[in-house]
Amino acid sequence: MLNQYKAVIVEDEAPARRLLNELLAEHKGTIHLTGEADNGAAAIALINEQRPDVIFLDIHLPDMLGLDVLKELDYKPYVIFTTAYDEYAIKAFDALSVDYLLKPLKEDRIARALSKLQYFANGTGTNSVWNSFESLLNGFKPHKEIKTLTVKKGAKFTLVQLSDIVYFEAYDKYTFVHTTNGQKLFCDYMLAVLEEKLSGDFIRVQKSYIVNKQKITEIHKYSNNRYTLILNNKDFTRIVTGPSYLNIVKEAFEV
């Protein structure tokens, strides 16, 4: 016999709430709806009071992210996300929650989500959204991209505008910044750290180089899986891309 789960809908759009109600009405043996909320603050109060087994949670609410709602709960219910994101953007949800429902909501996806809920609740799966909650939350909050970089110049530190940087080079145990005016400056960050900090104008093209895409003047085929990038600095520096970065380079420059 199937279990019945107490549920709450958190959705700011009235038409979407009505549709979800109608779709879930076909599954009364599994879902018992006990409340609705149309914003994050109301959702937190309602859920903590009623303690439903499962939440149908919209990602974007008027006052906060749906993920921020989860952060304020005093227990860990099952979560089924509802979202208008396309499938590429929400692949993480499939692994980090019971399921996701892509808008416009459809009956077959409701059935699949409830089937997965049974799987999780019977102990076969884990309520994994809570295992990776912080990483999921951080992934949906805007990241601040740096505009300048602090580098060492002699005995002092100076700020370099990212727009003045042509490329970064890792050599031995050091990282160097090469600028448009020909300077070679020491940088404290490893390339792996810079990849996280830099804006989308920068791309890692091999293990020793990150280049500013705006400073590339020519791209030449070097071999079947490598390219030569010619940079727009006074030396017209040539950098050969690494074979393991082939797909990244091809996608970035559409070559």
- Shared domain for 164 and 238, answered yes or no, is yes
- Shared domain for 130 and 168, answered yes or no, is no
* Ramachandran area for residue 9 (φ above 0: left; ψ -120 to 50: alpha; else beta): beta
- Shared domain for 80 and 173, answered yes or no, is no
- For residue 84, count CB atoms less than 10 angstroms from its CB and return exposed for 0-12, middle for 13-18, buried for 19 or more: middle
- Shared domain for 202 and 222, answered yes or no, is yes
- Shared domain for 130 and 152, answered yes or no, is no
Q: What confidence category does residue 13 fall into, taking pLDDT thresholds of 50, 70 and 90?
A: confident
Q: What does the pLDDT look like over 165-204, one tens digit per residue?
A: 999 999 887 899 999 988 899 888 888 888 878 878 999 9
CATH number of the domain at 11, please. 3.40.50.2300
CA distance 120 to 114: 10
- Shared domain for 27 and 115, answered yes or no, is yes
Q: What is the pTM of this model?
A: 0.47
User: End of a domain among 139, 161, 193?
Assistant: 139
Q: Which domain holds residue 92?
A: 5-139
User: End of a domain among 78, 109, 139?
Assistant: 139
- Shared domain for 178 and 131, answered yes or no, is no
- Shared domain for 85 and 167, answered yes or no, is no
Q: What confidence category does residue 89 fall into, taking pLDDT thresholds of 50, 70 and 90?
A: very low
Q: Note whether 205 and 222 are within 8 A (CB).
A: no
Across 60-74, average pLDDT: 84
- Shared domain for 62 and 130, answered yes or no, is yes
Other C-beta atoms closer than 10 Å to the C-beta of 247 total 9
Number of domains into which the chain is organized: 2
Q: Is the pLDDT of residue 115 over 50?
A: yes
Residue 88 confidence (pLDDT): 37
- Amino acid, single-letter form, for residue 185: L
User: End of a domain among 104, 139, 174?
Assistant: 139
* Ramachandran area for residue 31 (φ above 0: left; ψ -120 to 50: alpha; else beta): beta
- Shared domain for 119 and 222, answered yes or no, is no
Only one residue has tokens 């996300």, namely: 81
